[in-house]
Copies of this chain bind each other. A is one copy, B any other.
């Protein structure tokens, strides 16, 4: 197992927050301050231009740990957060991904998530048999291949805001190759698939195609009015309810 460096704990409102680094990837974990038995874990993949401690990540992480009694963890995406190497700039990370080659970037992020999952589930407080994933948009771009590769190690996933038709607004070099559709077909775990009904970036048809490809027998699509960046309270409640319900079931 790759060595993990853990930072000091910060405790507030019943939540223990702890930074870590594994295989060069910076991450953070939120744990219930007190738990009588190992708790399930939700891995949180952030969106493009975000980072492991983006506001919604922190809100979700603290809600899972503080209210639902479920651990949560996040890592910085490629060229994002502490891996941006300086001031964050959208055009710059896009150019770096294109230069590296998206298939290679995806493969690297899958390995990063595998290392993070291994590091966090090695904690005595975490139940390695009850792990879920939540990530939309870029969090699906990288998270879906990770969930596909994880097999039974990840038991359920909230995905969406992505599709098989590449947006005109994004550089062609960022397009998802055939790997995404193939990975979608490999999924077997329950999936909640989120669509923004008026998404100006990923068109409905391409999002529906990705949903159709999902191999999971237990899959559902949820759609909410609004554009790509919108996340209503009802949507966030649906993600949380779905994950908690599946992760509370015995493994």
Mark A residues whose CB is within 8 Å of B: 190, 195, 197, 211, 217-225, 232, 234-235, 237-238, 241, 245
Contacts and interface: CB of A to CB of B under 8 A. Distances in A.
A223 to B, nearest CB: 4
- Stoichiometry, copies per complex: 2
Contacts of A190: 234
A197 to B, nearest CB: 7
Contacts of A237: 245
B225 A222 contact: no
A206 to B, nearest CB: 15
Contacts of A220: 222-224, 234-235, 238
Nearest to A212: B197
A238 B190 CA distance: 14
Contacts of A195: 221
17 contacts: A190-B234, A197-B211, A211-B223, A218-B232, A219-B225, A220-B224, A220-B235, A220-B238, A221-B221, A221-B222, A221-B223, A221-B224, A222-B222, A222-B223, A223-B223, A237-B245, A241-B241
Given A220-B224, A241-B241, 10 more contacts: A197-B221, A211-B223, A217-B225, A218-B234, A219-B224, A220-B223, A220-B234, A220-B238, A222-B223, A223-B223
